[in-house]
Amino acid sequence: MRLKRLLALAAGLMLTTVTAWAQQGPPQAAQMQVALTMDDLPVHGPLPPGLTRAEVAHRVLAAFKGAGVAEVYGFVNAKGLADEGDDAAQVLALWRQAGYPLGNHVYAHDDLHGHDVNAFTAAVTADEAALTQYMGPGSGKNTDWHWLRFPYLHIGETPEKRREVAAFLKDHGYRVAEVTLSFNDYIYNAPYARCMAKDDQAAVARLRKSYLDRAAESLTIGRQQAQAVYGRDVPHVMLLHIGGFETVMLPELLSLMKAKGVAFVPLAKAEADPIYATNPDTPSNGTGSLLDREMTARNLPQPAHSADPSTWLDGLCR
Ligand SMILES: [Zn+2]
């Protein structure tokens, strides 16, 4: 009797364990925190036939919402409003209706490298009219637009330049929206528009595969770089761009990230980590992600990565 009862107890325990496993899935690797950010609102890259800027925003926002992403900063080049009018204006309106915030990506996507600091800071200021229009009081939640994303991730070629810009940003209440994860998602937009115009679905399938492979690789590289520089994983910030191909790829990208243990977090939460208190005097040529720059500063070898697909992409669907 006693043995029988013990066996029944053991079977019950196993059943409970198996049921819990089935409900929760197998134990996961440690979660990777990632803040998603999207650059070049409202106008980025060529579009395939029939797609408008507003429709791109609508589909991109639906993908983020569908994946339960609570916050995605959209970084604005206000010149796009002057260039493309109401279609572009709808992008920013839709972004705000979704409850997502906007930040500064400099008026005309001005490049700090090769230009003087005064011209650059004037272009930062020129972006602010649009930000206050869409992010002012009464515009809903998430109204902190004082985040700057450097165009081309160029933070200044010299320590002097980096110090001057850092002083300007501090005076004007800005924080820098750093990037630790990027796979140059924007390079797929022009070939995607060309391949759709030719209705070359086989080529589009190859684009999709390359995009997802490189997205997955960027997560691995980000983790490896964080280990190499800081000896630990860190909360990450991923750079994406608001292009036509994202309307196709975002649902798959977000599922892939979730499957790899990513938890989506707000930008301010990720950047609360001390690694984001960067020093303008860190030896650097001012290019690449935060992790790229820190690797360079420490003379660390970059992790292995797949070949750059740019040449293949440039020749596709011509
Ligand atoms: Zn940009």
pLDDT band at 140 (very low <50, low <70, confident <90, very high): confident
Give me the residue label for tokens 């391949």.
Answer: 195
Per the domain annotation, does 110 fall within a domain?
yes
Residue ranges of alpha helices (H) inside the chain are 2-24, 53-66, 79-97, 117-126, 128-135, 159-171, 189-197, 201-230, 244-259, 267-270, 290-297, 310-315
Instruction: Count structural domains, the chain.
Output: 1
Classify burial at 19, counting beta carbons within 10 Å of its beta carbon; exposed 0-12, middle 13-18, buried 19 or more.
exposed
Compute the distance from residue 104 Cα to the ligand 1 centre, in Å: 10
- Encode pLDDT of 235-263 as tens digits: 999 999 999 999 999 999 999 999 999 99
Would you say residue 25 has pLDDT above 80? no
Domain of 233?
29-315
Compute the distance from residue 105 Cα to the ligand 1 centre, in Å: 7
Compute the distance from residue 241 Cα to the ligand 1 centre, in Å: 7
Per the domain annotation, does 17 fall within a domain?
no
Compute the distance from residue 2 Cα to the ligand 1 centre, in Å: 71
Compute the distance from residue 177 Cα to the ligand 1 centre, in Å: 12
Nearest to 148 by CA among 132, 125, 129: 125
Per the domain annotation, does 126 fall within a domain?
yes
Mean pLDDT in residue range 135-139: 88
Q: Which helix (H) or strand (E) covers residue 278, if one does?
A: none
Compute the distance from residue 51 Cα to the ligand 1 centre, in Å: 20
Give me the residue label for tokens 């070359």.
Answer: 200
CA 145, CA 100: separation in Å to the nearest integer?
11
Mean pLDDT in residue range 128-134: 97
Compute the distance from residue 3 Cα to the ligand 1 centre, in Å: 70
Compute the distance from residue 12 Cα to the ligand 1 centre, in Å: 57
Compute the distance from residue 224 Cα to the ligand 1 centre, in Å: 25
Compute the distance from residue 109 Cα to the ligand 1 centre, in Å: 6
Mean pLDDT in residue range 288-293: 96
Q: Which helix (H) or strand (E) covers residue 39, if one does?
A: strand 32-41
- For residue 147, the SS3 value is strand
Per the domain annotation, does 131 fall within a domain?
yes
Compute the distance from residue 193 Cα to the ligand 1 centre, in Å: 19
Compute the distance from residue 152 Cα to the ligand 1 centre, in Å: 6
- Encode pLDDT of 154-188 as tens digits: 999 999 999 999 999 999 999 999 999 999 999 99
Q: What is the CATH number of the domain that holds 45?
A: 3.20.20.370
pLDDT in the model for residue 4: 53
Per the domain annotation, does 204 fall within a domain?
yes
pLDDT in the model for residue 112: 98
Per the domain annotation, does 20 fall within a domain?
no
Q: What is the mean pLDDT of the chain?
A: 92
Compute the distance from residue 238 Cα to the ligand 1 centre, in Å: 13
Per the domain annotation, does 7 fall within a domain?
no
Per the domain annotation, does 14 fall within a domain?
no
Compute the distance from residue 71 Cα to the ligand 1 centre, in Å: 19
pLDDT in the model for residue 13: 46
CA 213, CA 205: separation in Å to the nearest integer?
12
Compute the distance from residue 178 Cα to the ligand 1 centre, in Å: 13
